[in-house]
Amino acid sequence: MQKPYLLHMITPEKNLSAFDVNMAFDAGWTAMPYLGVELDEVATIVQDTIFSRGPQGLKRTGIFIGGRDMHLAMDMFHAAQDAIVQPFEISILTDPSGAFTTAAAMVATVAHQLKVRHDQDLKGQRILVIGGTGPVGASSAVLAAKLGAEVTVLGRAMDKANTVADLCNTRYGTVVEGVKGDASDHIDDLLLEADVVFATAKAGIQVLSEEQIASAPKLKVAADLNAVPPAGIAGINLLDNGEQIKASKSGAVGIGPLAIGDIKYQTQQKLLIQMYSSGEALNFHFEDAFEVAMKKVR
């Protein structure tokens, strides 16, 4: 009898994301939850997993790491990799709060619009990540900075925004000062130089008005992740995917949360299926998610 596909889903939180559990089952996995896991417990879970199934059974076994904290998730990802003992290899995917696949989808859809409308890539673009101190904002800041963008993460408090920016730079090898922090109070000045905005604040919060969009003379693309009314960026509809934003005087186009969500869904599903279908042990984090999202967008 073939062994079932088992995905051991680890989170430091009280609950797994129900979204991720649905995604895992829909991709063909049976999901096993491990809740409230601490970093130093990851190795034991991984080794209990690998030694009980043998190399062939491990092709039908995976580890998923969730949670709310991008940095802890990456620490857990590395701890899981370090716990592997040859030849008992196993696939590992980390996607805390869906942040990696969501950020990958947003950055990919923006990169696509820059290419088709301006024949430009992300290198040198000035990007404001509004409400950027959460897991999705920080992940998208790292991805964009690694592609050469000049990224500013905005939060309500300057200290928190600076801490998030510093962690992005020191932990993920973005170029020196690739990510800066600033307070959202300064947004009107920052909009004067912005090429791109990402709206990544908590759901249900509008972070940019029509007047502010009109006041951004260089704006090319605005991406909004908020699917809970009101829109995170006024004038961007849920399904927009490159439509002109009426209020923009620079002809900026908008990308709405459901257009980004579609690419996010396809990216996460592809990664979950590849974990068992490729025949080899694969390890995925935000950069792998971005590669897949770029292929989906094209």
Ligand X SMILES: NC(=O)c1ccc[n+]([C@@H]2O[C@H](COP(=O)([O-])OP(=O)(O)OC[C@H]3O[C@@H](n4cnc5c(N)ncnc54)[C@H](OP(=O)(O)O)[C@@H]3O)[C@@H](O)[C@H]2O)c1
What residue ranges bind ligand X (CB under 6 A)?
97-99, 102, 131, 133-137, 155-157, 160, 200-203, 205, 225-227, 257, 260-261, 264
Q: How far is the CB of 27 from ligand X (least distance, A)?
A: 17
DSSP 207-263: -B-HHHHHT-TT--EEEE---SSSPSBTT--TT-EEEEPTT-SS--EEE-HHHHHHH
DSSP 49-99: HHHTTHHHHHTTEEEEE--S-HHHHHHHHHHHHHH--TT---EEEE-GGGH
**Which of 178/257 has CB closer to ligand X?**
257
Nearest-angstrom CA–CA distance, 159 and 265:
33
Q: How far is the CB of 259 from ligand X (least distance, A)?
A: 9
**Which of 155/178 has CB closer to ligand X?**
155
Q: How far is the CB of 101 from ligand X (least distance, A)?
A: 8
- The residue behind tokens 């797994």 is 16
**Which of 47/206 has CB closer to ligand X?**
206
Q: How far is the CB of 124 from ligand X (least distance, A)?
A: 25
Instruction: Report whether the peptide linkage leading into residue 87 is cis, meaning its omega lies within 30 degrees of zero.
Output: yes
Which is nearest to 220 in space by CA: 201, 194, 186? 194
Task: Say which residues have a Cβ less than 8 Å from residue 57's Cβ, sequence separation at least 6.
Answer: 3
**Which of 202/249 has CB closer to ligand X?**
202
**Which of 46/137 has CB closer to ligand X?**
137
**Which of 235/256 has CB closer to ligand X?**
256
Q: How far is the CB of 160 from ligand X (least distance, A)?
A: 5
Q: How far is the CB of 262 from ligand X (least distance, A)?
A: 8
